[in-house]
């Protein structure tokens, strides 16, 4: 069962996590990713937590293997590991924020007195990528039926053809989705200059404040004690 976390808390945790990621070293990045996994579990996204957990666990194991290995070719994998561990905590936090309905998200951001253009950009961005993923899955299903999907090994020798039959339709669909999102926003009166009303009530609960306290305590502890430093 998914827990309802106040969107303002989710947004502030996302900003705080992004700042910590910029200041963290590799051992601290691993622990920030661990917090992200528990954050997904707390939010009730168990399947997503399992997928992210498997990726982070494999990446962490490979990182410690590289530290203990003298083979030169292994060192080149280090940059990929660095990217996964660096962007993982932010992507996890953003993934939870994606679950918030657009109306509730905009009402919560509006209560923070954020600029309207920023709120619109945030709401559209969080909705855009899941829609693109669904469109890509549909295109890939059609391409597989015709034997033209890039996921099929026989098409790896024909990259231009695979690009033409998969990525080009996705690009065209992206342009159409952009127009649809614009029309939908205009229909809902998004260009109205006054204060927008909402059916969603935004109020902080004790569990939201507890989550903030746990995050602060966790961040202070990993930056103070350096548990995984090697």
What pLDDT shows up at residue 191?
64
Residue 219 to residue 34: CA distance in whole angstroms: 11
Which of the pair, 218 or 191, is modelled with greater confidence? 218
37 has pLDDT over 90? yes
193 has pLDDT over 80? no
What pLDDT shows up at residue 32?
92
pLDDT digits (tens, 9 = 90+) for 70-113: 766 666 777 788 888 899 999 999 888 888 887 788 878 888 87
Please report which confidence band the pLDDT of residue 38 belongs to, taking 50, 70 and 90 as the band edges.
very high
188 has pLDDT over 70? no
The token pair at 108 is 């919560």
Gap between the terminal Cα atoms of the chain: 38
Query: Picking from 26-30, 89-93, 141-145, which range would have the lowest pLDDT averaged per residue?
Result: 141-145
Please report which confidence band the pLDDT of residue 45 belongs to, taking 50, 70 and 90 as the band edges.
confident
Average pLDDT over residues 193-197: 68
What is the model's pTM?
A: 0.77
What pLDDT shows up at residue 178?
74
The token pair at 43 is 């939010």
Tokens 């969107």 belong to residue: 7
Residue 140 to residue 159: CA distance in whole angstroms: 15
pLDDT digits (tens, 9 = 90+) for 150-160: 777 776 777 77
128 has pLDDT over 80? no
Residue 11 to residue 75: CA distance in whole angstroms: 36
35 has pLDDT over 90? yes
Average pLDDT over residues 112-133: 78
What pLDDT shows up at residue 55?
92
3 has pLDDT over 70? no
Q: What proportion of the chain, given as a percentage, has pLDDT over 70? A: 87
Residue 146 to residue 169: CA distance in whole angstroms: 14
Decide: 98 and 131 in contact? Cβ < 8 Å.
no
**Secondary structure string (H, E, C) spanning the chain:** CCCCCCHHHHHHHHHHHHHHHHHCCHHHHHHHHHHHHHHHHHCCCHHHHHHHHHHHHHHHHHHHHHHHCCCHHHHCCHHHHHHHHHHHHHHHHHHHHHCCCHHHHHHHHHHCCCCHHHHHHHHHHHHHHHHHHHHHHHHHHHHHHCCCCCCCHHHCCCHHHHHHHHHHHHHHHHHHHHHHHHHHHHHCCCCCCCCCCCCCCCCCCHHHHHHHHHHHHHHHHHHHHCCCCC
Residue 10 to residue 102: CA distance in whole angstroms: 14
The token pair at 219 is 């961040």
Please provide the size of the chain in residues. 230
Mean pLDDT estimate for the chain: 81
């Amino acid at each position: 069962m998914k827990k309802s976390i106040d969107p303002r808390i989710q947004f502030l945790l996302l900003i705080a996590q992004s700042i910590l990621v910029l200041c963290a070293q590799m051992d601290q990045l691993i622990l920030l990713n661990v917090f992200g996994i528990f954050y997904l579990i707390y939010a009730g996204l168990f399947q997503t937590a399992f997928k992210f957990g498997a990726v982070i666990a494999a990446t962490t194991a490979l990182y410690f293997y590289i530290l203990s290995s003298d083979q030169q070719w292994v060192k080149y994998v280090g940059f990929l590991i660095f990217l996964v561990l660096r962007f993982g905590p932010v992507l996890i936090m953003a993934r939870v924020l994606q679950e918030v309905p657009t109306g509730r998200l905009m009402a919560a951001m509006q209560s923070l007195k954020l600029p309207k253009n920023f709120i619109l950009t945030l709401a559209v961005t969080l909705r855009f990528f899941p829609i693109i993923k669904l469109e890509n899955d549909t295109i890939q299903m059609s391409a597989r039926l015709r034997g033209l999907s890039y996921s099929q090994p026989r098409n790896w020798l024909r990259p231009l053809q695979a690009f033409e039959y998969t990525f080009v339709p996705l690009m065209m669909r992206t342009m159409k989705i952009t127009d649809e999102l614009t029309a939908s926003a205009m229909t809902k009166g998004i260009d109205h200059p006054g204060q927008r009303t909402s059916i969603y009530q935004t109020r902080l609960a004790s569990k939201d404040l507890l989550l903030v306290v746990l995050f602060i305590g966790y961040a202070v502890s990993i930056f103070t004690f350096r548990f995984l430093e090697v």
